[in-house]
């Protein structure tokens, strides 16, 4: 941790687009006072998106620029980071990692409602089927800090928020 202990923990919330990361992070941020960092939005705001990738129908991310911009925020602690990927971040940034999961048929409807079609829709559904986000998180962080959470219903979201809130409360007791 750079030799410096954080006053508050950093949490990573990852998973395929549409699984409910931002929905859950918004509520966790409200209840804990942690600052929600939506990395996709941060990349736009910090002008980290470059030329357009025709195959994937999305802009190319300047990772170094993004990470440089995030470093000072993350070293202060107290962030809940929301991103579909997890292998680009330094391992030392996070105290715990949650991977949200959604049943394929439910995710299909959510992404369709969001306007996803064709290859983009298919690729994202395949990522969920092959649990790409979970595997990536397990390869990038210690397995014991990586936790899978179901996110099919609003009751699931509430349960997940409760669980994170409990973990946060315990972290503060253990680290005071
Ligand atoms: P993400 O940030 O992972 O892309 P989101 O939070 O924008 O996902 O959610 C996508 C849509 O699904 C949005 O319309 C809210 C809805 N949603 C999110 N989590 C849900 C849940 N656990 N149960 C039902 N709907 C959910």
The whole-angstrom separation of Cα 6 and Cα 102 is 32
List the chain pLDDT tens, one digit each, 176 residues. 455 689 999 999 999 999 999 999 999 999 999 999 999 999 999 999 987 777 766 789 999 999 999 999 999 999 999 999 999 999 999 999 999 999 999 999 999 999 999 999 999 999 999 999 999 999 999 999 999 999 999 999 999 999 999 999 999 999 98
- DSSP tag of 34: P
78 is in an annotated binding site: no
Q: How far is the centre of ligand 1, averaged over its atoms, from the C-alpha of 9 (Å)?
A: 24
Hey, what CATH topology would domain 11-156 get?
Rossmann fold (3.40.50)
Task: Give the atom of ligand 1 at the shortest distance from the alpha carbon of 84.
Answer: 3
Take atom 18 of ligand 1 and give the residue whose Cα is closest.
Answer: 20
The whole-angstrom separation of Cα 68 and Cα 74 is 10
User: Contacts by 136-139 with C-beta closer than 8 Å and gap 24+?
Assistant: 136/14, 136/85, 136/86, 136/87, 137/12, 137/14, 137/86, 137/97, 137/99, 139/87
Q: How far is the centre of ligand 1, averaged over its atoms, from the C-alpha of 7 (Å)?
A: 30
The whole-angstrom separation of Cα 97 and Cα 10 is 9
85 is in an annotated binding site: no
Q: Domain spans of the chain? A: 11-156
21 is in an annotated binding site: yes
Pocket of ligand 1 (CB under 6 A): 15, 17-23, 110, 151-154, 156-157
Q: How far is the centre of ligand 1, averaged over its atoms, from the C-alpha of 20 (Å)?
A: 3
The whole-angstrom separation of Cα 130 and Cα 124 is 10
- ipTM value: 0.99
């Amino acid at each position: 941790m750079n030799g410096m202990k954080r006053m508050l923990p950093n949490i990573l919330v990852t998973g395929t687009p549409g699984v409910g990361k931002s929905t859950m992070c918004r509520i966790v941020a409200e209840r804990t006072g942690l600052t929600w960092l939506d990395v996709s939005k941060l990349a736009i705001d910090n002008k980290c998106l470059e030329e357009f990738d025709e195959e994937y129908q999305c802009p190319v991310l300047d990772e170094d620029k993004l990470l440089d911009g995030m470093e000072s925020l993350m070293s202060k602690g107290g962030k809940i980071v929301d991103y579909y990927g997890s292998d680009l971040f330094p391992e030392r940034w996070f105290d715990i990692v949650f991977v949200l999961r959604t049943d394929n048929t439910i995710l299909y409807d959510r992404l369709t409602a969001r306007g996803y079609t064709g290859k983009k829709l298919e690729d994202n559904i395949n990522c969920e089927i092959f649990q790409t986000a979970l595997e990536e998180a397990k390869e990038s962080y210690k397995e014991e800090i990586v936790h899978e959470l179901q996110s099919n219903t609003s009751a699931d979201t509430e349960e997940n928020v409760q669980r994170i809130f409990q973990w946060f409360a315990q972290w503060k007791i253990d680290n005071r």
